[in-house]
Chains A and B, each alone.
Chain A
């Protein structure tokens, strides 16, 4: 009797340990790939790191999800699919998810998706698309075409170059040292950016934004109720900033040559600390306007609001 009880004391932890061993199933796989690699990654939970090396080979190392139904590494021509297969329905949190490090050739077309999985991407070049629902996405040192979308996950990027689209619903976007053409789309998330991009588009609904721009060619800003503070060193072509009730603050150097056309709307306010020009009211309308020119007026700056405030300063 005592021997049976003793056996049970040893057996139960052993069974549990065996389960843990299954849960933390490790993976270590390599695959030779062709030029023009098209890689699809599907990891629903956990952490995924994607980085480049100078080999025509994909390497996957790490552990699979606790509920993983198996790891898929499939190659069809230049198209490779990498998936940590999950059951149709599952419970649990992100900590129980996969933990994978994937090394890829630098030039590729990458399409990665996840549910709560966080992606860390670095040193890539090509068409890079990342979609995660609640996972965070960090991307650095990537060029060509980059599209990152989350629902509630935060996006943090640095040194992105090329055609960049960062899109989130309630997550935040923190971007620094990007260059090229960039588009930020947010609903309630906050935007913090320090970019050298020449063509910049910002669309936000209720989130606030703080954006530092350097050498802008074209700037488009649309906000509903979110406030935005923008600083800009130079403007080559045009800037168009519109808000419904959100406040717009534009900080530019006094010597920036531009035609200013500010529409304060029926309920908005215009404050100009840049020049001595003062806003005027239309004769038969409550709308206030401010039009003036600085320097030889090489660029156009149009700002409008319905009920927000517009502030110009240096």
Chain B
């Protein structure tokens, strides 16, 4: 035991009294400490704002993009059965109109001088029916809108029939065959 203690005392005694670095780095450290602090802070602050701006821009772009392509607001639930009925009625009406126009071409091949206001009315009804149809697709349970749409179709047929009954020009002698 005494032998071990004496060995330890020898080793301690052999240690240097103070640690001296191989190279004196203090000058370099001192220079760094004296360097202007403001320069570094400004750069890091600038980066911080730039990053924040980019992040904001990305967030805004993502929000607008989502709103545009995939709206966050839920669309009202659409009754598919009513939409199908709507499409069927529209298709039937178009067939009926085509048949009437075909008959008109076959029978009344002479134009009437009185047909202009009728044709204008028909065009306006068709344009209106398109608008009502689009509104109905968004809101197919609107009873009043249904009635307006069906009326526009009915009135179009009525005007087509009236147009077919209009007298042809009394001055016309018809085409020579």
Interface residues, chain A, with chain B CB atoms under 8 Å away: 89-91, 115, 133-134, 151-152, 169-170, 187-188, 203, 205-206, 222, 224-225, 240, 242, 244-245, 263, 265-266, 284-285, 287, 302, 304, 306-307
Q: In the complex, A304→B149 CA distance in Å? A: 12
Selected contact of A284 from candidates B74, B144, B172, CB within 8 Å: B74
Count B interface residues, CB 8 Å. Answer: 33
Measured CA separation A203–B132 after assembly (Å):
16
Residues from chain B with a CB closer than 8 A to the CB of A307 are 131
User: A169 near B128 (CB under 8 angstroms)?
Assistant: no
Q: Which of B132, B135, B159, B166 is close to A133, meaning CB atoms less than 8 Å apart? A: B166
* A222 and B158 alpha carbons, distance in the complex (Å): 15
**Contacting pair B135 A240 (CB below 8 A):** no
- The secondary-structure label for the interface of chain A is loop
Given A205-B125, A240-B144, A242-B148: A89 in contact with B170 (beta carbons within 8 A): yes
Partner of B73, one of A169, A242, A284, A287: A284
Q: Which of A151, A188, A203, A304 has the most CB of B within 10 A?
A: A151
A55 to chain B, nearest CB (A): 35
Main secondary structure of the interface of B (DSSP, over half): helix
Contact B117 A187 (CB under 8 A): yes
A-B CB contact pairs (8 Å), 16 listed: A89-B170, A91-B170, A133-B167, A152-B114, A169-B121, A188-B120, A203-B151, A205-B124, A205-B128, A206-B124, A224-B128, A242-B151, A244-B132, A284-B73, A302-B144, A306-B135
Q: Are B118 and A187 in contact (CB under 8 A)?
A: yes
Asked if B16 is at the interface of the complex by the 8 Å CB criterion, the answer is no
In the complex, which residues of chain B have a beta carbon less than 8 angstroms from the beta carbon of A134? 114
Q: Which chain A residue shows the least CB distance to B168?
A: A89
Chain A residues, CB < 8 A from B80: none
CA distance A65 to B75 in the complex (A): 68
| B21 contacts chain A at the CB level, 8 A cutoff | no
A188 proximity list for chain B (CB < 8 A)? 117, 120-121
B contact residues around A205 at 8 Å (CB)? 121, 124-125, 128, 155
Q: How far is the CB of A213 from chain B (nearest CB, A)?
A: 20
- Chain A residue, CB-CB nearest to B121: A187
